[in-house]
Amino acid sequence: MRAPRAITASLVGLTAILATACSAPGGTAVSPVADTSSVVAAPVVQSVTPTTPPLPPAPPCDAVQNGSCVSLSEKLAWLLQDGKVVFGPVPMLPGSPSDPTPTGTFQVAWKAKHYTSREFGEPMPNAVFFAAGGIAFHAGSLTTSSHGCVHLNDSDSAKFFDSLPVGATVQVMA
């Protein structure tokens, strides 16, 4: 069976176009051997394998089943329930070297959502008092140390306030 005349004409035309496209200027045929003198190598793209982000540091405390753990050296705090981390670690700022946050194991003594320090006249939102001398977790600066308290950002202090009942254990490690 013969191809229709229109298809044959189209194929002949296409062959002519391809022959012209494959010729160098002036009608000379291009050599089948490639000239690589002007070829620039494409950069090698290395495949990136997704990795699991590192686990956050585990709390260093051993005395807390239900309560909070604080690492002064790492400037981190956690909330624990049944010995497992349920929140954190979160950044915190302890007291200054002249007014350090005490280390040890304490119990939450009392809480005040809106409190102002009687001694320093400073607001202490979301205050959770756990050590003698008015030492508490509360919302405060993460760049300016307190007078022994543990500063948390606003949202973290609210979470600590809501999660730590009176009597909960707070362990503060150096």
| Averaged pLDDT of the chain | 82
Q: What confidence tens digit (pLDDT) does each residue in 63-79 have? A: 999 999 999 999 999 99
pLDDT at 33: 58
Q: How many domains does the chain have?
A: 1
Is 140 among the domain residues?
A: yes
Query: How far apart are the two ends of the chain, measured CA to CA in Å?
Result: 94
Residue that wins the pLDDT comparison between 57 and 80: 80
Where do we find the tokens 């954190």? 88
Q: Are 77 and 137 in contact (CB under 8 A)?
A: yes
Is 40 among the domain residues?
A: no
Is 99 among the domain residues?
A: yes
Q: What confidence tens digit (pLDDT) does each residue in 93-144 have? A: 999 999 999 999 999 999 999 999 998 899 999 999 999 999 999 999 999 9
Query: Which domain CATH number covers 164?
Result: 2.40.440.10
pLDDT at 131: 97
pLDDT at 141: 96
Is 48 among the domain residues?
A: no
Residue that wins the pLDDT comparison between 123 and 26: 123
For the cut 90, the answer to whether the pLDDT of residue 167 exceeds it is yes
pTM, two decimals, is: 0.69
Is 145 among the domain residues?
A: yes
Its domain, for residue 103, covers 67-173
CA-based max dimension of the chain:
107
Look up residue 173 and give its two tokens: 């490690």
Is 4 among the domain residues?
A: no
pLDDT at 138: 98
Is 130 among the domain residues?
A: yes
Is 50 among the domain residues?
A: no
